[in-house]
C-alpha cells in the first residue's frame, strides 16, 4: 500500500489578540497556536504542531501572521481554509492557504515584517475601541513634528538591545528598520515600522519612548541616546500591547521593496 504524500502548507492568519495569552503554545493558557493546532488536528485527522512566523504577546493583534505545517491528508487547499474557519473560534480567521516548498519555515524564511501601532487621542475612550488602540487624552501634549523626527532616528541598521528586556539564546540584537512612517486620520494616529526583524517587545518599547518624547517627558535626544548606548539596559517605557498589530510578514526581497519603497532601500545600501 502506498503511503499518502506528505505536503508542506503555509497559511495566513488574522486574529483579535484580546482573548489570547499570546501566540506561542503555553501549558495551560489559551493561545493562538493552541487553537490553531487543535483545529488542524481535528480537520486533518492527525496531530499537527504548526510553526509560527512571529511571536505576539497577550493582547497583540495580527492581520498577517503566518504559520507552516505538514500533512498527509488528501484535503484540497480550499477545503483546508474553509474547514479551519468552520472549526476556529470567531477571534481567529484563516485568510489564505497555499502549498509550499519543504524548505519553507514561517520564521526563518521571513526577510522582513511590518508592524502597525495605533494611538487614539480623544476626550474619552470609546468602549468599543478599548482593545485596539493606545488611548491618550486629547488635552495632553503630543508634538507630531518631534514624532516624525524621532522616528527617522530609528531607521537604519542598529543594535536595538535598548528596546528589549531580553534576547533569545544566540539572537543577534542588530536589526535593520527599513522604513518608518506616521499617518493621521482624524483622532487616530498610526505608526508603521518595516524591518528585517524585531526583538522581543522591541516595537512596544520604541513606541513607549517615542510617546514619552512627543509628550515632553523625555528629551528628543533620548531616542538617539538609546540607539547609541545599547549596554545601558532596556528603556523603561513599554507601550500597551492593545495598540500593536502584526500587519504582514515578508518572504521575498520584492515584497520587502514594495513595502518599504525602493528609494528608502537604496539609501541603506
**CB atoms < 10 A from the CB of 96, how many?**
13
Neighbouring residues of 21: CB distance < 8 A, sequence distance ≥ 6: 29, 30, 31, 58
187 is known as an active-site residue: no
Q: Where are the alpha helices (DSSP H) in the chain?
A: 32-44, 77-87, 144-154, 202-214, 221-228, 253-260, 262-268
**CB atoms < 10 A from the CB of 202, how many?**
23
Q: Which one is catalytic: 16, 29, 57, 96?
A: 57
CA distances from 66 to 9, 165, 204, 247, 255 (A): 11, 25, 21, 11, 15
Cα–Cα distance measured from residue 80 to residue 99, given in angstroms and rounded to the nearest whole number: 11
User: Does the CA dihedral 124-127-133-134 come out positive or negative?
Assistant: positive
Residues recognised as catalytic:
57
Amino acid at each position: 500500500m502506498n503511503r499518502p504524500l506528505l505536503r508542506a502548507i503555509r497559511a495566513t492568519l488574522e486574529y483579535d489578540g484580546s482573548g489570547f495569552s499570546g501566540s506561542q503554545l503555553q501549558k495551560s493558557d489559551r493561545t493562538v497556536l493552541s487553537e490553531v493546532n487543535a483545529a488542524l488536528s481535528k480537520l486533518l485527522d492527525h496531530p499537527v504542531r504548526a510553526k509560527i512566523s512571529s511571536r505576539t504577546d497577550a493582547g497583540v493583534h495580527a492581520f498577517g501572521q503566518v504559520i507552516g505545517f505538514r500533512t498527509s491528508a488528501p484535503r484540497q487547499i480550499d477545503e483546508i481554509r474553509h474547514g479551519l474557519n468552520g472549526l476556529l473560534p470567531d477571534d481567529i480567521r484563516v485568510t489564505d492557504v497555499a502549498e509550499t516548498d519543504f524548505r519553507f519555515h514561517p520564521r526563518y524564511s521571513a526577510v522582513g515584517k511590518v508592524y502597525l501601532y495605533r494611538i487614539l487621542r480623544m476626550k474619552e475612550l470609546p468602549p468599543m475601541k478599548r482593545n485596539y488602540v493606545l488611548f491618550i487624552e486629547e488635552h495632553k501634549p503630543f508634538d507630531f513634528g518631534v514624532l516624525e523626527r524621532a522616528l527617522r532616528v530609528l531607521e537604519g541598521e542598529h543594535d536595538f538591545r535598548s528596546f528589549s528586556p531580553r534576547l533569545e539564546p544566540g539572537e543577534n540584537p542588530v536589526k535593520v528598520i527599513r522604513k518608518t512612517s506616521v499617518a493621521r486620520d482624524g483622532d487616530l494616529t498610526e505608526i508603521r515600522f518595516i524591518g528585517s526583524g524585531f526583538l522581543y517587545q522591541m516595537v512596544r518599547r520604541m513606541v513607549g519612548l517615542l510617546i514619552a518624547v512627543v509628550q515632553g517627558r523625555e528629551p528628543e535626544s533620548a531616542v538617539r541616546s538609546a540607539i547609541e548606548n545599547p549596554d545601558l539596559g532596556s528603556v523603561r517605557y513599554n507601550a500597551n500591547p492593545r495598540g500593536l498589530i502584526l500587519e504582514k510578514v515578508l518572504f521575498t526581497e520584492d515584497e520587502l521593496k514594495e513595502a518599504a519603497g525602493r528609494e528608502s532601500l537604496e539609501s541603506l545600501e
